[in-house]
Chains A and B, each alone.
Chain A
Amino acid sequence: MILEAKENPQSLLYLNGVTKTFDGFKAINNLSLDIAPGELRAIIGPNGAGKSTMMDIITGKTRPDEGEVKYKDVVDLTRFDEADIANMGIGRKFQKPTVVESLSVRDNLDLSLAGNRGIWQSLFFKLTGQQQQRIDEVIGIVGLTEKSGDLAANLSHGQKQWLEIGMLIIQDPEVLLVDEPAGGMTDTETMETAELLKTISKQHSVIVVEHDMDFVRALDCHVTVLHEGSVLAEGNLETVSTNPKVIEVYLGR
């Protein structure tokens, strides 16, 4: 019904000339971006550059004023809402870690588990042994085995970030949009998170927004610099970080 997409698309996500204005302020300004299937992409840029707004636009939370947003070459994402887009295989982690606080770690993963989202099914749903196993496995991957029965509210900030990443993994989307995953983490945790995302990117496409340069370096991937709602520079971290325009934006003021 939704997916008229091709089997082997050229680009997974394609943004062209996207603009979004909030009260006369252009948060996104003629933004163009092309993510290939299977790619790991880092997006950096100063606060207010429009990174989160870009993710809002891709995931259906915000409608752009202008421009194309295409998934797998043909699906026009601006015509769908969050639930549709999530079910097409685009998963998202928020900048502020967002988990269901009054449910346990395990229940959070149970809810996110790939599968039918229908009302009737949810009333009579029973986890299969295989699904139980998958949940345990993901709890292990994000290092929350000891906390699996705890309420998500009782996790530390960093643990919530991981839980949310775990929820993304178990949702099994084709592409993960990950907004500042290392926020509130210690240096070790930050590096572990980078490793985790690299592992995930072997099987999924991943777009990561992050400020932490060590983190981006550890990802070792193509980098896009966003500034005032458009792309300022693109390339590997070395090229980008020696670009005079980038240096000016980051250090000039």
Chain B
Amino acid sequence: MMLMNNKSVLMSLLMNDKIGSKLIGFIILASIIIALLNLFAPEGSALHVPTYIVSLLGKYLCFALLALALDLVWGYCGILSLGHGAFFALGGYAMGMYLMRQIGDRGVYGNPDLPDFMVFLDWAEMPWYWQGFDSLSFALLMVVLAPGLLSFLFGWLAFRSRVTGVYLSIITQAMTYALLQAFYMNEFGFGGNNGLTDFKDIAGFSLLADGTAVGLFLISALSLVLAYIACRFITESKFGKVLIAIRDAESRTRFMGYRVEHYKLVVFVFSAVLAGIAGALFVPQVGIINPGEFSPIKSIEIVIWVALGGRGTLYGAVIGAFIVSYGKTFFTGAFPEIWLFMLGGLFVLTTMYLPNGVVGLFGRIKANKGEAS
């Protein structure tokens, strides 16, 4: 009975979101095919998908999840966070700490009790906040708790004092910048400048094995799909309408009797947790996490993904993250010196000519065709 009920909720969500359902279907199908082609097509054959491509696509999936998280707060609730990279990085560090502990005595210094960078710093023992990270379940808990608590604290203070608009954006940027400075310091205890790297295995599986890469890739795809459905459930509910009301007419929403600060807080924390999960999936696939993930430009990039894809649609965020990330991979390979200019240019062009992003453009073309025929 319960299952039937859930199923029909899911069906009606997907029915009301045609583009989103197609996108989800495509992601599921493409991920399975890519996984199969990596594992079963013989190496050297034209059909074989090399493992580094699988991990690269896995990274894009994490970015798409991150973009989705931002779109929920920005597109639907009008909270332009310029600090979402911080939540992503915190999730990433929590996972990175677990992966560091898995190295054991296989580090350069061969110390079974301390990660390499601590040996290098002459530390006698692990700081208290590294305790527990040899357990995957504890690390996963921290993946949720670290960004969750930070966003809760930050949001509680900011939303209660009614910081909105550009002021809120500025303090989110300040937050990620402060964390950037902290994580750079060796004494802070997270590997300083170099961050955490040289990971060996995860849950007993070698990170060098094709199967592990494919597994992480599939988990990323699944997480994206589940997060998408969860976000769509939220935006389709009355809660989602309250978010839109807050975005369009905040004080009207208060006068209707809604506790605006509570609604903002809940959606902000949920979004931060999604960002943290994205970071946690990202780290084992790229093999490193360093303070650079906290840099303000990273957070701004997320905003560009969402704006370019089409804000306030969810699927637009996912598509935008794929397009820009692919562009970045391509252009930083081909013309590394112009990528940042291109990114800036793209943003300007999008805001000027594509206020509804790429998905808005498709919508317009389709509407025109409909009229013509």
Contact = CB atoms under 8 A, between A and B. Distances in A.
A110 interface: yes
A102 interface: yes
Given A100-B245, A100-B248, A100-B249, A86 B237 contact: no
Contacts of A100: 241, 244-245, 248-249, 252-253
A83 interface: yes
A103 B266 CA distance: 21
A122 B239 contact: yes
B257 A94 contact: no
A82 B254 contact: yes
A125 B249 CA distance: 21
B238 A111 contact: yes
Nearest to A82: B254
Nearest to B242: A122
B167 interface: no
A59 B255 contact: yes
A83 B239 contact: no
A103 B235 CA distance: 12
A101 B252 CA distance: 11
Contacts of B258: 83, 117
Given A103-B245, A107-B241, A61 B256 contact: no
A98 B251 contact: yes
Interface in A13-64: 59, 61
Contact of B237 (A61, A102, A103, A125): A125
A83 B260 contact: yes
A123 B255 CA distance: 20
Contacts of B262: 119
B238 A110 contact: yes
Nearest to B266: A119
A112 interface: yes
B366 interface: no
B263 interface: yes
Given A100-B244, A103-B244, A122-B242, A167 B237 contact: no
B225 to A, nearest CB: 20
B239 A123 contact: yes
Q: Interface SS of chain B: helix, strand, loop or mixed?
A: helix
Interface string A98-118: 111111000100111000010
A87 B242 CA distance: 16
Nearest to A124: B237
Contacts of A110: 238, 241
Interface in A185-215: none
Nearest to B256: A112
A91 interface: yes
A171 interface: yes
A101 B249 contact: yes
A72 interface: no
A122 B251 contact: no
Contacts of B259: 83, 117
Nearest to B237: A123
Contacts of B237: 122-125
Given A100-B249, A119-B262, A111 B254 contact: no
A87 B257 contact: yes
A55 B241 CA distance: 26
A92 interface: yes
Contacts of A61: 251
Contacts of A122: 237-239, 242
Nearest to A173: B257
A82 B239 CA distance: 19
B27 interface: no
Given A122-B238, A122-B242, A171-B256, 13 more contacts: A81-B254, A82-B251, A82-B255, A83-B254, A94-B252, A99-B249, A101-B248, A102-B247, A102-B248, A107-B241, A111-B242, A123-B234, A123-B239
23 contacts: A83-B259, A83-B260, A86-B254, A86-B255, A86-B256, A87-B257, A92-B255, A100-B241, A101-B248, A101-B249, A102-B247, A102-B248, A103-B245, A103-B248, A107-B241, A110-B238, A111-B241, A111-B242, A123-B234, A123-B237, A125-B237, A125-B238, A125-B239
Interface of B: 234, 237-239, 241-242, 244-245, 247-249, 251-260, 262-263, 266
Closest 8 CB pairs of A and B: A86-B257, A82-B254, A125-B238, A122-B239, A122-B238, A87-B257, A100-B245, A98-B252
